[in-house]
Chains A and B, each alone.
Chain A
Amino acid sequence: MTDRLKIDYCGIEFRNPIVTASGTFGFGYEYDEYAPLSEYGGIGTKGLTRKPREGNKPPRIAETPSGVLNSVGLQNPGVDVFAEHIMPALSEQFDTHVIANMSGNTIEEYAEMAEILSGTDAAIIEMNISCPNVKHGGLAFGTDAAVVEELTREVKKRCKKPLVVKLSPNVTSVAEIARAAEAGGADGVSLINTLLGMKIDINTRRPILANNTGGLSGPAVRPVAVRMVHEVYNAVNIPIIGMGGAICAEDVIEFMLAGARLVALGTGLFMRPGMIFDIKQGLVDYMDKFNINNISEIVGKLELNQ
């Protein structure tokens, strides 16, 4: 489309700043039919675990005003199947960067997965320390700064790709956790993961989700996500992938002004699987309007009211 959308992230050139959020996008195949994966800067693939996981009982999804609650529970084929079959097929069929997402139960498991993924064509490894939907999905890791720093340091030792730590919003200070990830050697951070929530059916007096609680995403969380990206941008020097309810170019620009270099689409794809086309056009229109040569010029260019 245009070089004006090109942007560097962790030393890797992305053809545009739009990526997809892990968990909403499978391994990309399904969405390629609605917009070729080469239209995106990169794709975030379904969260992987060391061993295959069957996931939670259904219902796994519930709608809330301008939002979605989900509790899939990391159903996935395991990192080995990804490394041996899925990733080779993705790199053979599609021209896009893959951000491989992983979740572990122990530091050793995370490190082992990072090593396995380092041997694949994935461009970036995203470490999920904040899945709210499984008992040992990393949420315990993601809420303690000292643990985040140690975990990141140990994983970095065996990780040969840029390591991006995915942060949970379910913490007192997201900036503190981001600083811990940076101190541990993370190459970038991504945020926000979903906000823990609950939806109750008042007739049955039961939560709609079989897992009772789930992660909230969609436009409902966007202001929280933008604020957190802003806080993290001021706290660390590593680049940010921003996400949380972005459904149009204006939302992407908000995230970038707040400090994100890449912005992930997620829940919004359920409504508009082909929205990447409009979003890219919207970014170019914005650049024309404000005489911006390259989209990277707007990263962090938020001006606060005095």
Chain B
Amino acid sequence: MKQTYKCKLRLKTEIAPGIFDYVVEAPEIAAEAKTGQFLHINCGGRTSLRRPISICDFDEGFVRFAFQVKGEGTEKLSRLDPGDVIDIMGPLGNGFTVNEGERAVIIGGGIGVFPLLRLARYHQDAPVFLGFRTKELICMEDDFNEANDNVVICTDDGSYGYNGFAVAAMGEYLMEHEVDMIYCCGPTPMLKTVKQIAEYRRIPCQISLEQRMGCGIGACLTCVCETKGEGMAKYKQVCSAGPVFDSREVIL
């Protein structure tokens, strides 16, 4: 039977202003987790909904996730200290579907880069385009470089790395290379553009979506995204049908 777990916070790092990197002791979750799945976290206080946060990494009884302080819940979560216990449901949702030997491109933006770390490690020869608004907001550059040989850090303002959007850097790459699969997680404008490019070039593309969420397990039908389906299938649950979708299926 599934349950919620009391997980001890072991490591806490503020990796960019307002962005925290947590490692928790969670053997049951680590044993089941797949790349691209998420955790549903009880932040305590007056919150009455858990917060969905994607899994960044897991290994040997530990699970790593990172989040940005956005509101009351994440603010409360950010104030915990190592040793404190966090109430976590998970792993939830469907992860990325990874195919051996495929020629992949990985692209992420902002706090959307975190669930891509394991993909970058698996496809360590694939190019990884990571976009950030500016130099100060770059996260996990060392982790990605350790995982993968072809990481391209991009900044919108040109303050570091590739000068421009990550999608532009990816576009240049696609002009010269055959690709079998694009993996993407990031802000909606990035998802939209990557989806467009992938469809124009007829490259299969998996995108990871975010939505305001309730139960996290498919029952309450609140965290939906619009799809090309009809009737009852028009809106699908991001929590249980996703959070990773075939880009051709969803309407952004």
Q: Is B196 interfacial (CB-CB < 8 Å)?
A: no
A58, A64, A67, A218 pick with most chain B CB within 10 angstroms: A58
Contact A271 B42 (CB under 8 A): yes
Within 8 A of B (CB), among A70-85: 70, 72, 75-78
| Chain A residue at minimum C-beta to C-beta distance from B235 | A55
Give the Cβ gap from B228 to chain A, nearest Cβ, in Å. Answer: 12
Contact A274 B3 (CB under 8 A): yes
Contact A26 B221 (CB under 8 A): yes
Q: Which residues of A contact B221 (CB under 8 A)?
A: 26, 46, 55, 60, 72, 75
Q: Which residues of B contact A65 (CB under 8 A)?
A: 46
Give the Cβ gap from A35 to chain B, nearest Cβ, in Å. Answer: 8
Q: Is A53 interfacial (CB-CB < 8 Å)?
A: yes
| Chain B residue at minimum C-beta to C-beta distance from A51 | B231
Q: Is B205 interfacial (CB-CB < 8 Å)?
A: no
Contact B50 A58 (CB under 8 A): no
> Per a CB cutoff under 8 Å, which of A58, A63, A267 touches B226?
A58
Number of interface residues of B (CB under 8 A): 34
Contact B219 A26 (CB under 8 A): yes
Contact B232 A53 (CB under 8 A): yes
> Per a CB cutoff under 8 Å, which of A25, A54, A67, A208 touches B231?
A54
- Which secondary structure dominates chain B's binding surface? loop
Q: Is A94 interfacial (CB-CB < 8 Å)?
A: no
> Per a CB cutoff under 8 Å, which of B3, B89, B214, B225 touches A61?
B214
| Chain A residue at minimum C-beta to C-beta distance from B71 | A63
Q: How far is the CA of A68 from the CA of B215 in the complex (A)?
A: 11
Contact A30 B214 (CB under 8 A): no
User: How many residue pairs between the two chains, A and B, have CB atoms under 8 Å in the bound complex?
Assistant: 117
Contact A52 B48 (CB under 8 A): no
Q: Is B212 interfacial (CB-CB < 8 Å)?
A: yes
| Chain B residue at minimum C-beta to C-beta distance from A267 | B48
Q: Is A219 interfacial (CB-CB < 8 Å)?
A: yes
> Per a CB cutoff under 8 Å, which of A25, A219, A272 touches B4?
A272
Contact A30 B46 (CB under 8 A): no
| Chain B residue at minimum C-beta to C-beta distance from A54 | B234
Contact A58 B225 (CB under 8 A): yes
Within 8 A of A (CB), among B195-252: 211-226, 230-232, 234-235, 240
Contact A61 B223 (CB under 8 A): yes
Q: Is B1 interfacial (CB-CB < 8 Å)?
A: yes
Q: A65-B46, A219-B48, A274-B3 are in contact. Are A58 and B220 (CB under 8 A)?
A: no
Give the Cβ gap from A24 to chain B, nearest Cβ, in Å. Answer: 6
Q: Is A23 interfacial (CB-CB < 8 Å)?
A: yes
B35-60: CB near A (< 8 Å → 1, else 0) gives 00000001000111110000000000
Within 8 A of B (CB), among A20-35: 23-26, 30-31, 33-35
Q: Which residues of A contact B1 (CB under 8 A)?
A: 33-36
B62-92: CB near A (< 8 Å → 1, else 0) gives 0000000000010000000000000001000
Q: How far is the CA of A70 from the CA of B214 in the complex (A)?
A: 9
Q: Is A57 interfacial (CB-CB < 8 Å)?
A: yes
Within 8 A of B (CB), among A273-296: 273-274
Q: Which residues of A contact B224 (CB under 8 A)?
A: 55, 58, 60, 75
Q: Which residues of B contact A270 (CB under 8 A)?
A: 48-50, 214-216, 220
Contact A30 B235 (CB under 8 A): no
A24, A53, A60, A65 pick with most chain B CB within 10 angstroms: A60
Q: How far is the CA of A84 from the CA of B232 in the complex (A)?
A: 16
Q: List 5 A-B contacts (CB under 8 A).
A: A30-B217, A58-B224, A61-B212, A65-B46, A68-B214
* 6 nearest A-B residue pairs (beta carbon): A26-B219, A61-B222, A54-B234, A30-B219, A60-B222, A30-B217
Binding site for B on A (CB under 8 A): 23-26, 30-31, 33-36, 46, 52-55, 57-68, 70, 72, 75-78, 208, 218-220, 267, 269-274
